């Protein structure tokens, strides 16, 4: 490939840039489910996310992925969902070696063999870091252009001890001088490829990262500010935490939108409070019911069940069953939310209306919304509670009871 072809926008960047994404590992620590870089995060493969993040952040750059020879089909499945203009920036994959160090070297050799000049900036990135952001990539490009070899690092908050083989502490490094390092590690191609070749010729020693390879070869490597969001997905717990960071993606991964409605009424009886949305609201009367008679939670529960066509609250919790006598109604709602989760779905939004003359709902509205949001694990802005009177008409107007209406929006895969 001619140099002019390789440099996408030489005047914009000063030199061409390529992401070398290392995806050849087996990822045993993330448990069952295959190599972690190909596992789904909210329905999308980690490698798909990583490539999209990198290429979107640096439109002038290209990418090449180092994969395990057994993973060709997985790799193709990871690239397929990317937009056509992004796929066009991905060069053919390279097969990795026995160690990460071998895999990086083989990837660098493939980049050089394709005609990239020595001055090309290479950003070597872990496939299992999908949260890499544009700010970090801009810093990496700038640092590599200025220094030739630079890596991202974040301050260390724990005190670090150096220990001997018998666990005896031999040193306590000054914490202010320590950095926890990440990827992308950024280099000029000629520098890092020569360093990897030299390490290999010296006897294939295993170094921790690409910075260590450059250091071993005698280069100064600089640290630029990393990003605490740029986590590496290693364990199953990492995947769960990562999914919790992506609540706004539901439209991508859960496209099947369902709506359910619920309606409930409870009559006033003796008592000094009513339960509304799991909140105890003082009143000169109570509501009569087999459970705690929380008319609002019952309507919401029926709306959620309706959205997944799973019957109604009475079918799941028969009114005659003594175990539900006086039960807190959040038990019913939690069950309905779990049924949605068992289908791979999520509740996206709740809108509910209470109809009564008294008690006044307004002073309790925010507490009720917060409690419902907590029960359903929803952000507060996805729970609406409204109240109205019926203008003294009908049974609610005569203050014989409270009625509640609810609409649930549910998203399914």
Binding region for Mg ion (CB under 5 A): 264, 298
- Residue 40 corresponds to which tokens in the numbers above? 């789904």
Does residue 67 contact residue 51 with C-beta atoms inside 8 Å? no
Beta carbon nearer to Mg ion, 148 or 401: 401
Does residue 242 contact residue 131 with C-beta atoms inside 8 Å? yes
**Termini Cα distance of the chain:** 43
3-class DSSP state of 112: helix
Name, in order, each residue with C-beta under 8 angstroms of 59's C-beta and a sequence gap of 6 or more. none
Name, in order, each residue with C-beta under 8 angstroms of 382's C-beta and a sequence gap of 6 or more. 347, 348, 349, 350, 373
* Alpha-carbon span 221 to 144, nearest angstrom: 10
Does residue 38 contact residue 78 with C-beta atoms inside 8 Å? yes
Please report how close the Cβ of residue 84 comes to Mg ion at its closest, in angstroms.
53
Please report how close the Cβ of residue 265 comes to Mg ion at its closest, in angstroms.
7
- Least Cα distance to 47 among 57, 37, 56, 35 occurs for 37
Q: Is 412 exposed, middle or buried (0-12, 13-18, 19+ CB in 10 A)?
A: middle
Please report how close the Cβ of residue 324 comes to Mg ion at its closest, in angstroms.
11
For 75, 216, 250, 258, the CA distances from 351, given in Å and listed in that order, are: 42, 62, 18, 14
Please report how close the Cβ of residue 301 comes to Mg ion at its closest, in angstroms.
9
Scan for tokens 């994959």, then name that residue.
93
Burial 4-15 (b: 16+ CB within 10 A, else e): eebbbeeeebeb
Beta carbon nearer to Mg ion, 192 or 305: 305
Please report how close the Cβ of residue 276 comes to Mg ion at its closest, in angstroms.
12
Please report how close the Cβ of residue 359 comes to Mg ion at its closest, in angstroms.
18
Report the 10 Å Cβ neighbour count for 306.
22
Please report how close the Cβ of residue 385 comes to Mg ion at its closest, in angstroms.
17
How many residues are present in the chain? Answer: 413
* Alpha-carbon span 54 to 6, nearest angstrom: 18
Beta carbon nearer to Mg ion, 327 or 412: 327
Beta carbon nearer to Mg ion, 139 or 298: 298
Beta carbon nearer to Mg ion, 121 or 295: 295
Q: Which residue is nearest to Mg ion (CB)?
A: 298
Beta bridge partners of 150: 186, 222
Please report how close the Cβ of residue 296 comes to Mg ion at its closest, in angstroms.
10
Please report how close the Cβ of residue 24 comes to Mg ion at its closest, in angstroms.
57
Please report how close the Cβ of residue 244 comes to Mg ion at its closest, in angstroms.
32
Beta carbon nearer to Mg ion, 209 or 264: 264
Beta carbon nearer to Mg ion, 21 or 296: 296
Beta carbon nearer to Mg ion, 240 or 288: 288
* Alpha-carbon span 93 to 318, nearest angstrom: 59
Does residue 149 contact residue 196 with C-beta atoms inside 8 Å? no
Beta carbon nearer to Mg ion, 250 or 267: 267
Beta carbon nearer to Mg ion, 210 or 264: 264
């Amino acid at each position: 490939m001619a140099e002019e072809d390789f440099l996408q926008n030489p005047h914009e960047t000063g030199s061409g840039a390529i992401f070398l994404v290392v995806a050849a590992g087996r990822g045993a620590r993330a448990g069952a489910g295959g190599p972690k870089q190909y596992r789904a995060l909210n329905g999308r493969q980690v490698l798909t996310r990583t490539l999209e993040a990198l290429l979107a952040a640096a439109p002038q750059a290209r990418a090449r992925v180092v994969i395990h020879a057994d993973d060709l089909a997985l790799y193709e499945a990871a690239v397929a969902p990317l937009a056509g203009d992004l796929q066009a920036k991905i060069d053919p994959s390279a097969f990795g070696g026995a160690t990460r160090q071998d895999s990086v070297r083989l990837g660098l050799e493939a980049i050089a063999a394709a005609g990239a000049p020595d001055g090309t900036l290479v950003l070597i990135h872990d496939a299992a870091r999908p949260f890499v952001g544009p700010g970090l990539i801009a810093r990496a490009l700038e640092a590599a252009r200025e220094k030739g070899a630079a890596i991202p690092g974040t301050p260390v908050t724990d005190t670090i001890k150096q220990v001997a083989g018998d666990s005896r502490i031999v040193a306590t490094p000054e914490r202010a001088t320590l950095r926890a390092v990440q990827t992308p590690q950024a280099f000029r191609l000629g520098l890092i490829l020569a360093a990897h070749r030299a390490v290999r010729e010296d006897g294939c020693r295993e170094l921790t990262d690409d910075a260590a390879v450059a250091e071993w070869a005698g280069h100064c490597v600089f640290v630029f500010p990393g990003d605490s969001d740029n986590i590496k997905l290693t364990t199953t717990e990492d995947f769960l935490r990562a999914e919790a960071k992506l609540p706004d993606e539901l439209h991508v991964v859960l496209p099947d939108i369902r709506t359910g409605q619920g309606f409930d009424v409870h009559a006033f009886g003796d008592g000094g409070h009513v339960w509304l949305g799991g909140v105890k609201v003082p009143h000169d009367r109570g509501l009569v019911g087999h459970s705690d008679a929380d008319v609002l939670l019952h309507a919401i529960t029926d709306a959620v069940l309706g959205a997944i066509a799973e019957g109604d609250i009475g079918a799941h919790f028969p009114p005659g069953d003594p175990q539900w006598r006086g039960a807190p109604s959040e038990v019913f709602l939690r069950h309905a939310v779990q049924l949605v989760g068992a289908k791979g779905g999520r509740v996206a939004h709740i809108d509910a209306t209470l109809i009564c003359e008294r008690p006044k709902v307004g002073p309790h509205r925010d507490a009720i919304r917060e409690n419902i949001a907590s029960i359903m694990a929803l952000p507060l802005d996805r729970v609406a509670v409204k109240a109205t009177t019926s203008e003294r008409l009908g049974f609610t107007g005569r203050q014989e009871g409270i009625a509640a209406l609810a609409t649930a929006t549910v998203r399914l895969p």
